[in-house]
């Protein structure tokens, strides 16, 4: 090559390297910026992220990558408590389920494992979907709406999964009402999930509708509970069907729904509960408490039912004729 040609080639290589370095530097700045986001005020959030106007500061801005969303788990912001309460609850149920289901069949028959597995799976799905939603809700409007639907579906799944063991052991020897209530719960659960698919269901103005849908679904459990109470009597219901634990579980869920719908305590202390102890965190804690209360209750039911042996002819079946 001639001297001018070699000089031109060298100049081209230099320009190419400069452009590559500039591109790398730009990417480095983007990475640093993505990792160095700052929490912001409610008023600066885009409309799709504006959910609770009583929480003034400490909100995450839109984080346009999943990696940034997951890294935000380890930052302090309005969703930190929401993420960790249900993430830890999910992991606890994974541990309990693993221990329970790994026990020898001589100690826990496979039928009982299947019944409890339904409850464990529902709790893990609900708490896992909730934690996931609160982690990625700031990614984008589309992602936030998608995971909010999964979150609400998880709530319906937990309610269904909570019904299964109580109905199974409560109506252990009574096929007709047991199947009827299983079908009823499944239909109501499917209806709740269908309503959850409505795009506007997750919007702030429908907070009361969300609380009402799931509270109503949960309260449908009053029907089989009253049925059992009338037929079997108060003593049997309290001491053998864990009626007290069932009522405590329902009370915790309803109390949590009330905190969620009323947005207490931040309603009375705007801007003072931005990071800790706001209504959604309290709701999460009460949901976990209710799930563990229910686990204790159905465990007592299972122990009593298995101690009775097979269904006896002397034990009259429950039917729909009071």
Q: What was the pLDDT predicted at 24?
A: 59
> Tens digits of per-residue pLDDT, 2-50?
656 666 677 677 767 767 766 655 554 555 455 579 999 999 999 999 9
The 3-state secondary structure of 194-249, one letter per residue: HHHCCHHHHCHHHHHHHHHHHHHHHHCCHHHHHHHHHHHCHHHHHHHCCHHHHHHH
> Tens digits of per-residue pLDDT, 93-146?
999 999 999 999 888 999 999 999 999 999 999 999 999 999 999 999 999 999
Q: What number is the average pLDDT over the span 300-311?
A: 87
Q: What number is the average pLDDT over the span 305-320?
A: 65
Q: What number is the average pLDDT over the span 53-65?
A: 97
Residue stretches of the annotated binding site for Zn(2+): 134, 280, 284
| Fold (CATH) for 42-308 | Rhopdopsin 7-helix transmembrane proteins (1.20.1070)
Residue stretches of the annotated binding site: 134, 280, 284
125, HSE (Cβ side, Cα atoms, 13 Å): 19
Is the pLDDT reported for residue 305 higher than 90? Answer: no
Q: What was the pLDDT predicted at 166?
A: 96
What is the CB neighbour count within 10 angstroms for residue 95? 10
Q: What number is the average pLDDT over the span 161-177?
A: 95
Q: Which residues contact 302 (CB under 8 A, 6 or more apart)?
A: 112, 115, 116, 165, 169
Is the pLDDT reported for residue 320 higher than 90? Answer: no
Q: What was the pLDDT predicted at 322?
A: 36
What percentage of residues in the chain have a pLDDT greater than 90?
79
Q: What was the pLDDT predicted at 236?
A: 85
Strand partners, 59: 40
* 229-236 contacts at long range (C-beta below 8 A, 24 or more positions apart): 230/322, 231/318, 231/322, 232/318
* Domain range annotation of the chain: 42-308
Average pLDDT of the chain, as a whole number: 90
Q: What is the pTM of this model?
A: 0.86
Q: What number is the average pLDDT over the span 249-254?
A: 96
> Tens digits of per-residue pLDDT, 198-248?
999 999 999 999 999 999 999 999 999 999 999 989 888 888 878 999 999
What is the CB neighbour count within 10 angstroms for residue 296? 13
């Amino acid at each position: 090559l001639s001297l001018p040609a070699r000089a031109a080639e060298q100049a081209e290589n230099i320009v190419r390297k400069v452009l590559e370095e500039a591109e790398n530097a730009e990417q480095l700045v983007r990475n640093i910026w993505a990792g160095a986001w700052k929490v912001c005020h409610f008023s600066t959030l885009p409309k799709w992220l504006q959910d609770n106007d009583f929480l003034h500061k400490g909100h995450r801005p839109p984080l346009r990558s999943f990696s940034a969303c997951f890294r935000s788990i380890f930052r302090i912001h309005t969703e930190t408590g929401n993420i960790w309460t249900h993430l830890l609850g999910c992991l606890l149920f994974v541990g309990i389920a693993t221990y329970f289901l790994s026990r020898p069949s001589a100690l826990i028959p496979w039928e009982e494992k299947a019944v409890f597995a339904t409850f464990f799976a529902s709790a893990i799905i609900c708490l896992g979907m909730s934690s996931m939603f609160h982690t990625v809700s700031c990614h984008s409007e589309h992602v936030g709406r998608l995971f909010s639907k999964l979150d609400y579906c998880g709530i319906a799944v937990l309610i269904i999964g909570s019904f299964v063991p109580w109905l199974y052991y409560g109506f252990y020897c009574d096929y007709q009402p047991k199947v009827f209530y299983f079908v009823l719960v499944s239909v109501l659960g499917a209806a709740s999930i269908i309503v959850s698919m409505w795009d506007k269901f997750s919007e702030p103005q429908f907070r009361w509708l969300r609380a009402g849908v799931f509270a109503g679904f949960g309260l449908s459990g009053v029907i089989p509970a009253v049925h059992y109470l009338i037929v079997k009597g108060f003593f049997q219901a309290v001491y053998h069907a864990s009626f007290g634990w069932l009522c405590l579980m329902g009370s915790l869920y309803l109390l949590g729904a009330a905190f969620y719908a009323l947005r207490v305590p931040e309603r009375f202390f705007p801007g003072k509960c931005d990071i800790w102890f706001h209504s959604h965190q309290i709701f999460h804690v009460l949901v976990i408490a209710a799930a563990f209360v229910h686990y204790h209750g159905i465990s007592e039911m299972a122990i009593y039912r298995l101690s009775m042996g097979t269904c006896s002819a002397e034990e009259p079946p429950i039917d729909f004729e009071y």
